[in-house]
Amino acid sequence: MKRYPRQLSAGENNIVIALNQLEVAKIYEGDTRSDIGSEAEKLQFANSINGLVAKFIRIDFDEEKQWEMLVMKRLFPMDFRSMEFERRELIFNVFEDELAQLHKAGFAHRDICRPSIMAGESYDNIFLTASGLRLIDVGISTLQRQVGGPIFERFVEQELKEISEFKEFFLNR
């Protein structure tokens, strides 16, 4: 398997590399189907509402490598089991509130739990950090203004189901 220098992980679509201790970059190389501009816009939208989604920093181009980079704040997740149950409960409640805020503002993440037929662990887009749960990967996230009310409502409904399943997993892990 091909690996890039400083690669963190290869997700479903893109490679993510560490730039330094503070920043990571999602790489868009050649003729990618996924659109860096759209992903950046969705990140910035969510960032303007609250701190739940990883912070957008900038879009950059690596002249030498000839690839586009979506630069974000680097997160260092902890294992769920390293945190006391009581604290996890508090943290989950904040997570639920922040996600509800995003829904209300017209942002649905849509990749909280991958269907089991897809590669990757079920909850690999949710990071536990010392200051709370954070979401990464807005690749398939949707803004209400792009799809309209009825479709958006269905996405939110599905997301709420996934969140209640995640709660079981997170608290009992």
One character per residue 6-35, x = contact with ligand ADP (rule: CB under 6 A): --xx-xxxx-x-------x-x---------
CA distance 169 to 122: 10
Residues 134-163 that bind ligand ADP (CB under 6 A): 136-137, 139
Please spell the DSSP secondary structure of 69-129, one letter per residue: EEEEE------GGGS-HHHHHHHHHHHHHHHHHHHHHTEE---SS--TTSSS-TTTTEEEE
Residue 113 site contact among ligand ADP, Mg ion, none (CB < 5 to 8 Å, cut-off depends on kind): none
DSSP assigned state of 53? B
Using CB under 6 A as the binding rule, whether residue 40 contacts ligand ADP is answered as no
Footprint of Mg ion (CB under 5 A): 11, 125, 137
Residue 96 interaction partner, one of ligand ADP, Mg ion, none, beta carbon < 5-8 Å per kind: none
Nearest to 123 by CA among 131, 112, 135: 112
- The first and second tokens of residue 24, run together, are 């990571």
Q: Which residue is nearest to ligand ADP (CB)?
A: 11
User: Could you list the residues that contact ligand ADP (CB under 6 A)?
Assistant: 8-9, 11-14, 16, 24, 26, 54, 72-75, 124-125, 136-137, 139
